[in-house]
Amino acid sequence: MSGARILRYGVPPPFEFEAPSSWLGRLALAQGCSLEEIQVFLDIHADVDVDQMMYGKALAELRRRCSLPQTAFAIAGSVMAGLEKTGLGPWSLATTTRGTPAFRYCPACLRRRSTPHLDIHWRFIDWRYCPLHNCLMESVCWQCRTPVCYPQDMALSKAGRAGNASQRRCLNCTADLAAAKPCLVNPATSSALTELEACWLLNGRALLASLCSGTARYRAEGVGTAALRRRVYQEWLPLPQQWLRVERRLRSDRSLDNLVRESVRLRPREELKTPWGSVISLERW
Ligand SMILES: [Zn+2]
Ligand SMILES: [Zn+2]
């Protein structure tokens, strides 16, 4: 690959909601080279949060260097441009305790994907549940408790060496992440949540909608509006420690098992509705 200025072959098309860091891992696999080589080629420093910086000129350059269409990463780019505009800061994005960019994941979403990949909104700490499957997002591998971090050199990981280089696998222990038992919770109907906790879940979803539309205000059903920066003072969104207590309670609450048969609300793809509830017109980008 060295010497080539533009990648024309072996470039996997990004999925509509995929995060650039997820795609970079898949790109290295498809190119049969190391992640480091890919990062050097694309002038992406290994210590930056590639999802956070991939919008505007940086995204245009990525598309050019990898022969990607203008719609590639349109949603990821819009969300991150929105994050920059609101001034919410990088602390809205999930990281490990060491500061490494991390994802949360929905096991049911991963199970349905023929090519496993990770969505841009799975990077946000306030995206706490999957509205498609009404379950809490998982933060770590259900088997070894390792966080899900990308970009990573999947081929060099334990899963890759075992022939399971896939974003559906824990790269540390090779467990199938889609096999995690979902913690089902529906903010619209669940009696396991207080009204405020249900609002927190819905507001997290609304936050993504507002970032995507580039506005500095957000609105959740029946909740009203608030300036994003006032989140702490007005309790529109919880502090991480506040939510940790809620999540611990929910995950040990056996009454949640009664919610297993709650209906799964899947939306037809052709509606072009985002998982965070707004309708997207790709022409805007
Ligand atoms: Zn899901
Ligand atoms: Zn694991």
Contact 139, 45 (CB under 8 A): no
pLDDT, residue 277, reads 59
Region 188-217 average pLDDT: 81
Q: How far is CA 283 from CA 43, 131, 208, 209, 267, in A?
A: 29, 25, 19, 17, 21
pLDDT, residue 38, reads 94
How close is the Cα of 140 to the center of ligand 2, in Å? 8
How close is the Cα of 183 to the center of ligand 2, in Å? 18
Averaging pLDDT over each range in 47-61, 155-169, 200-214, which range is the top one? 47-61
Confidence of residue 214 (pLDDT cuts 50, 70, 90): low
- Whether pLDDT at 136 is above 90: yes
The Cα–Cα gap between 83 and 73 comes to: 15
Helices (H), 174-282: 195-213, 231-234, 240-251
Ligand nearest to the CA of 17: 1
The Cα–Cα gap between 226 and 117 comes to: 33
- Other CB atoms closer than 10 Å to residue 219's CB: what's the count? 15
The Cα–Cα gap between 224 and 281 comes to: 25
How close is the Cα of 211 to the center of ligand 2, in Å? 32
What are 113-123's pLDDT values in tens digits?
999 999 999 99
Confidence of residue 256 (pLDDT cuts 50, 70, 90): very low
The Cα–Cα gap between 11 and 13 comes to: 6
Give the environment of ion ligand 1: residues with CB less than 5 A: 106, 108-109, 130, 132-133
Residue 129 pairs in a beta bridge with 136
pLDDT, residue 12, reads 96
The Cα–Cα gap between 115 and 123 comes to: 19
At 194, list the tokens: 């207080």
Among 31-45, 64-78, 189-203, 258-272, where is mean pLDDT lowest?
258-272
- Whether pLDDT at 271 is above 70: no
Ligand nearest to the CA of 180: 2
What are 58-77's pLDDT values in tens digits?
999 999 999 999 999 999 99
Name the DSSP class of 168. T
Among 4-13, 53-62, 66-75, 220-229, where is mean pLDDT lowest?
220-229
Region 71-99 average pLDDT: 89
Alpha carbon distance, N-terminus to C-terminus of the chain: 30
How close is the Cα of 279 to the center of ligand 2, in Å? 35
Give me the chain's average pLDDT, please: 82
Ligand nearest to the CA of 145: 2
Place of tokens 């979403």: 109
Region 80-102 average pLDDT: 87
**Between 263 and 281, residue with greater pLDDT:** 281
pLDDT, residue 13, reads 97
pLDDT, residue 199, reads 85
Supply the DSSP string of 105-164, one letter for each residue. B-HHHHHH-SS---BGGGGBTT--EETTTTEEPB-B-TTT--BB-SS--GGGSHHHHTT-
What are 29-63's pLDDT values in tens digits?
999 999 999 999 999 998 999 999 999 999 999 99
Confidence of residue 274 (pLDDT cuts 50, 70, 90): low
- Whether pLDDT at 110 is above 60: yes
Place of tokens 């048969």: 261
Where does 55-191 show beta strands of DSSP type E?
Answer: 129-130, 135-136
- Whether pLDDT at 221 is above 50: no
Confidence of residue 108 (pLDDT cuts 50, 70, 90): very high
Give the environment of ion ligand 2: residues with CB less than 5 A: 141, 143-144, 146, 170, 172-173, 175
Supply the DSSP string of 34-91, one letter for each residue. -HHHHHHHTT--TTS-HHHH-SHHHHHHHHHHTT--TTTTHHHHHHHHHHHHHT--GG
Q: Which backbone phi and psi does 17 adopt, to 5 degrees?
A: -105, 10
